[in-house]
Amino acid sequence: MARNLSPKDDIEIAIKTGLIALKVPGNRDQLARACHDYLKLLDKWNRAYNLTAVHGIADMVEHHILDSLAIAPWITGKYVLDVGTGAGLPGIPLALCYPEKRIVLLDSNGKKTRFLLEAQRVLNLTNVDIVQTRVEHYQPETLFDIVVSRAFSELQTMLDLTRHLLHPQGKWVAMKGPNVNIELSAVSHAHSLEPYQVPGMAKERYCVVLENENGVIPV
């Protein structure tokens, strides 16, 4: 006899189905549960503080969790900075997926970093550090293998503001929508443009990967 599914089951099944479609590695049941816990907390805070424009856990599955994890193949290296992380996207889903990586979530907004601290506590994210400051003022002891951004700024601005944070052999990874070529026209840096599909989403999504050529970006 078929089992009646609760809303919790529906959400976790939707997340796991997306993880399978994206070929996300690891224990997908465990990752789906952790991602659901994150979304429940985000939804609760979002009602009071409007942390994200996407409302409702069901819509957050695709727009937040699966969109963040779709770029997992490009998150190489051990030390990752999510700049302008906002509510922890893509950094928190990536931290849940890759517990062996060290991920720094950076944002200047105190309301958002307070949420991140609570998410870190609730989800027991021991591989995450949270920094509240403007990116141009951030001076870490160690340079990053990957600097990733989902909704921080246009590409050239991202490069200009974060070049002091990236290891000479590191890479920038930027998540972009259908207008990506307009931004790329202003960037004179070698790059690869990787289209990716988010399960359940029709809109175009792209991952722009730029290598730090000996720490120098052509102007």
**pLDDT per residue over 166-209, tens digit each?**
999 999 999 999 999 999 999 988 899 999 999 999 999 999 99
Burial class (CB in 10 A: 0-12, 13-18, 19+), 210: buried
**pLDDT per residue over 83-126, tens digit each?**
999 999 999 999 999 999 999 999 999 999 999 999 999 999 99
pLDDT score, position 131: 99
- Helix spans in 25-135 (H): 28-49, 57-60, 67-69, 91-97, 110-123
Residue-range domains of the chain with CATH: 7-211 (3.40.50.150)
Angle, to 10 degrees, between the axis of helix 28-49 and the axis of helix 110-123?
150
Res. 19: pLDDT tops 60: yes
**pLDDT per residue over 28-52, tens digit each?**
999 999 999 999 999 999 999 999 9
Q: Chain centroid to CA 144: how far?
A: 15
Q: Are 198 and 67 in contact (CB under 8 A)?
A: yes
**pLDDT per residue over 68-93, tens digit each?**
999 999 999 999 999 999 999 999 99
**Amino acid code (one letter) for 219:** V
Confidence tier at 218 by pLDDT (50, 70, 90): very low
- Tell me the CA distances in angstroms from 31 to 20, 57, 74, 131, 147, one per residue in order: 11, 16, 19, 24, 23
In total, the chain counts a number of residues equal to 219
**Amino acid code (one letter) for 130:** I
pTM of the predicted model as reported, rounded to 2 decimal places: 0.93
For residue 204, the tally of other CB atoms under 10 A from its CB is 14
Angle, to 10 degrees, between the axis of helix 7-22 and the axis of helix 28-49?
120
pLDDT score, position 190: 83
| Mean pLDDT rounded to a whole number for the chain | 93
**pLDDT per residue over 126-139, tens digit each?**
999 999 999 999 99
